[in-house]
Amino acid sequence: MSKLKLTGKELRALGFPEGPVISIAMKVMEKKYKHHRKEEAMDILKKVLESPLEYEDDAVLALIAEQLLPKPPAEGEGAEISLNNTGIAFSIFGSEHIEAGALNQMYQASKLPVSVAGALMPDAHSGYGLPIGGVLAVADAVIPYGVGVDIGCRMCLSVFDINPKELDQKPDYFKRELLEATLFGSGGHFKQPANHEVMEDKAFHELGLLRTLHGKAWKQLGTSGGGNHFVEFGNVTIDEKDEILGIAPGEYLGLLSHSGSRGLGANIANHYTKIAKQKRRLPGEASNLAWLGLDEEEGMEYWIAMNLAGEYASANHHIIHAKIAKQLARRPIRMVENHHNFAWKEMHEGREVIVHRKGATPAGKNVLGVIPGSMTAPGFIVKGKGVESAVNSASHGAGRRMSRTAAIKSITHEAMKAELKKHDVMLIGGGLDESPFAYKDIEVVMESQKQLVDVLGKFYPRIVRMDG
């Protein structure tokens, strides 16, 4: 068997940034995975690139992961800032299902001098900076790693007035539509990119960083990335009429997608995180919560870039949904869309604040959203109740109960296939790291936040397309 051989060009095409990480990744893979096929090695590297935090304790891949994580500022850079001794009070929903690491990260965030209010959602787990499932309101500042790397990641659901029994009658047809309309993978892009007005946004020409990212962002327009991103057909059930949702009770065919801003968002996040950490040195784990003032040039730049990444993420979904709607020869009777991994200017207890929702769904009064389960568990169409103690938020999904590495080590292909068969789900792509067993029970999560949202309907996955 020939030994594995990688090139820097291949890693750059995958999305690896310029720097030592490329040569380190090549050496690690060629030494430790020398008998793997190139496709397998590249798939491993994609997963590390997308979620480096999940591999920082891996015996082999940690060497690569640590190169992808933002570095703490050098001694003497920026002003050293102390945390408050007590911190602000914050609400915790479903605390019995939240790991200690996520709680500790939220406690660190509560001690920032700029923190005003916070909440931890029942799907919470450790992230980088603010925990995933963490909500933090701050005064006159924005925290790049409080937003996260996949800026504007979102859910988008199209509901079609089509009998969902058609999924059973012609599954190959719907499978083909997913394969033709979607593209997954860290470095993936269409040969013929789509067109969308977001690519004409003036920010692409006014900010130096965005100018350098414009070409790649256009190539990736309408694609979905990797990790837990998906596009899937399923059954939508609506039990009661709701005037906000506006769909009559019944069974419908649904198209649900989950993805974000691709390489555009990742580059924005890493660029401005580095600047924030140079300007403000915070102690220990809190260093990843460095912020930029909205009265500072860099803070204003990040705000513009973040909002553009959010619009770009939305465009990716709309392009996919429009392609499939055209093939179905139907317009959706309703589209529900919401995002997470974002920062909003909102009013909280009479004052304007910047609310960061890193893996949390906006749930203001009568605000619609979709909270997915897993590839076999139902998603929920919800309407927010506007609970101030939750900073008008809810969970963004079921939440992971084990890391990708732990899932790969402990879950078998046989068990996953049996679970898919049990729920009558066809999976295209996907891996053990995204197995249903790697996620919390969505029913338990929803029970923990019933005071935050009303459930208006459910989406049951049937044909699921993921990376791989």
Q: Return the structure tokens found at 424.
A: 């009558």
Task: Check pLDDT > 60 for residue 389.
Answer: yes
In the predicted structure, residue 189 carries a pLDDT above the cut 80: no
Mean pLDDT of 58-76: 76
Q: Which residue from 401, 395, 396 is spatially nearest to 437, judged by alpha carbons?
A: 401
84, pLDDT greater than 80: yes
Residue 54: is its pLDDT beyond 80? no
Q: Which domains does the chain have, with CATH numbers?
A: 8-68 (no CATH), 147-465 (3.90.1860.10)
- Give pLDDT, residue 66: 85
- Rounded average pLDDT over 279-286: 89
Rounded-to-integer distance, Cα 416 and Cα 395, Å: 25
Mean pLDDT for 127-145 is 95
Backbone angles phi, psi at 213, to 5 degrees: -100, -10
In the predicted structure, residue 403 carries a pLDDT above the cut 60: yes
Higher-pLDDT residue of 79 and 69 is 69
Residue-level pLDDT at 179: 94
Cβ(363)–Cβ(390) below 8 Å: yes
* Gap between the Cα atoms of 370 and 446, Å rounded: 12
The contacts of residue 427 (CB under 8 Å, 6+ apart) are: 375, 420, 464, 466
Tell me the pLDDT band of 72, cut-offs 50, 70 and 90.
low
Residue type at position 114: V
Query: Residue 187: is its pLDDT beyond 90?
Result: no
Four-point Cα dihedral 296, 299, 305, 309, nearest 10: -160
Contact 452, 392 (CB under 8 A): no
% residues pLDDT > 70 (the chain):
97
Q: Residue 73: what pLDDT? A: 57
Model pTM score: 0.86
270 versus 188: the higher-pLDDT residue is 270
Task: Summarize pLDDT for 416-461 with one digit per residue, the tens.
Answer: 999 999 999 999 999 999 999 999 999 999 999 999 999 999 999 9
